[in-house]
Amino acid sequence: MTKDIEAPPPGTTPHEAPPVAVAFADLWAREQDGMSPTWRERAVRHWEQYLQAHVQEAVHRRDDVWPDVAEYLQLRHASGFMPPLWDAVERIWRCEVPDAVYDSPELRTMRDADSQNINIVNDVYSLAKEEARGDGHNLVLVLEQQEACTRPDALKTAYRMINNWMQAFLTAEAQLPLLYGTVGLSAPARADVARFAQGMRAAIRGNYDWCSRTARYHGPFVSSDRPARSIAEP
C-alpha cells in the first residue's frame, strides 16, 4: 500500500500525481535516510498497517459494524499512528533500537502499553466528537454497546485500562537495565534505547496535554456531560 502511495500512478508525472502521493513520497524519502534495512522494513509494515486500519474503520462505518472490545483495541492499535511515530523517534533522534531489544518482551510491553494508553486517552477526550457524528470507533461507545452499561461505568472502565497500561509501561521500563546486561548491550546502544524510551514517555505526556486543550475536542459541539479534564480517576 505504501508503494502505491509513494509512486505516481502509471503514465503520470510527479506534477500529475495525487498530492497525497507526492507528499508521502517526500516524507518517506527523508524518513528512511540513513536508516538500516531492518528499520525500513519495519517502518513500511507500520505504515501499511496504519493505512489499512483506516480502510477497515471506513468499512465498519459503511456497514454499520460494531467491533467488540478485543477487536476494537487491535484495530485501534493500528489506526492510532503510534508505530509510525516510534519509527520517527528513531529517525529524528538517530537512536535506532537494536533488534535484540526491540523484539524483547520488555520493549514489546512498553510499545503496546504506550500505544493503547495514548489511543484510549484520545478516545476519552474525543468521545463527544465521535458520538456527535455517529462514529462508533471509540472505546467508551464500544464498552457501552458490548457491556450494556452506563456512560459513567464505561468511562470508569476506560480510566482503569488507561492506568493499567501506564503501570505496565513503567514496570517494563524498570526492567530495561537488566535486559541490557542479558543481551550484552554497549553503552552507545543503551543510550539509544534510553532516548527511544524518552520519546515514548514524551508521547504519553504530549498526547494528554494536547487532548485536554485542543479545540478539536473542546469546541461548541461538546456536550456538557463530556469527560472531565483529569483522566486519572479510579
Average pLDDT over residues 67-89: 95
CB of 67 closer than 8 Å to CB of 75:
yes
Note the pLDDT tens digit of each residue in 94-146: 999 999 999 999 999 999 999 999 999 999 999 999 998 889 999 999 999 99
CATH of 68-213, one of 3.40.50.11260, 3.40.50.300, 3.40.50.970, 1.10.600.10: 1.10.600.10
Q: Which pTM value belongs to this model? A: 0.85
Does residue 42 have a pLDDT over 90? yes
Please report the pLDDT score of residue 83 as a whole number. Answer: 96
Instruction: Give the N- to C-terminal CA distance of the chain in Å, as an integer.
Output: 41
Torsion of CA 108, 114, 116, 117, to 10 degrees: 150
